[in-house]
Amino acid sequence: MNVSQGARTRAALVAAGIDLFDRDGYENTSLDAVCRSVSVTKGALYRHFPSKQALAVAVVEEYFRRWHLVRADCEPRVSPLQALVDLTHRMAELTATDPTVRVGVRLLFTTELFDLLAGMHFTSLTTTARDLLRQAAAAGELNPNLDPRREAEAIVSAVVGTQALTVITGKPTTRLSTAWHHRLAHLVPPTRRSLYRIG
């Protein structure tokens, strides 16, 4: 097998994992079913993934890649705070609509992968939020005397909770709009609040 063929097989296995975990759930999906759906032998699968957990890790990494793309896409042009608001909405929306994100979040929050990977991911989310808040403060968008780290953690908690409830209830949610509405009252001077799109 040459390298590109191997990479193609791996990508096909990850895609099949996402499909099957999404449809049947992680617990109910067997590696045999994954092999069948890609038409490869179990031996070929084991060359890439020694266990179901290893396949799950690959799916969660795919979700992380999606997060990094969304973050790169949300670069602050005019307002760093608006970029942060948009970023959180985008993450919540993708959790409801994008199978890779939905399955990745579900695996990350509801399997043993939580202990392995969630801390790192939450730190990455919090650092991004904190950096955008610092830029917003530097651009004069925020009330004085706010602690960007603390505010970032609160914002990320709301995003993480919204993601968790979205994958649990299967329903998209408007929770973040209301949360941002209240949060802006605390972050931004009254005269500037109407400048932001939060819904």
- Asked if 111 is part of the footprint of other proteins (rule: CB under 8 A), the reply reads yes
- Asked if 183 is part of the footprint of other proteins (rule: CB under 8 A), the reply reads yes
Residue 32 amino acid letter: D
List the one residue from 73, 174, 195, 197 that touches other proteins (CB under 8 A).
174
Nearer to other proteins, 75 or 147 (CB): 147
List the one residue from 9, 37, 135, 157 that touches other proteins (CB under 8 A).
157
- Minimum Å gap between C-beta 9 and other proteins is 27
Nearer to other proteins, 89 or 121 (CB): 121
Interior CA angle at 31 toward 27 and 32, to 5°? 120
- Asked if 142 is part of the footprint of other proteins (rule: CB under 8 A), the reply reads no
Task: Please give the Cα distance from 127 to 131 (Å, whole number).
Answer: 6
- Asked if 123 is part of the footprint of other proteins (rule: CB under 8 A), the reply reads yes
Interface region with other proteins, contact rule CB under 8 A, candidates 5-13, 35-43, 73-81, 113-121 = 113-121
Query: What residue has token string 């953690």?
Result: 153
Task: Please give the Cα distance from 35 to 52 (Å, whole number).
Answer: 12
- Asked if 13 is part of the footprint of other proteins (rule: CB under 8 A), the reply reads no
List the one residue from 11, 40, 173, 192 that touches other proteins (CB under 8 A).
173
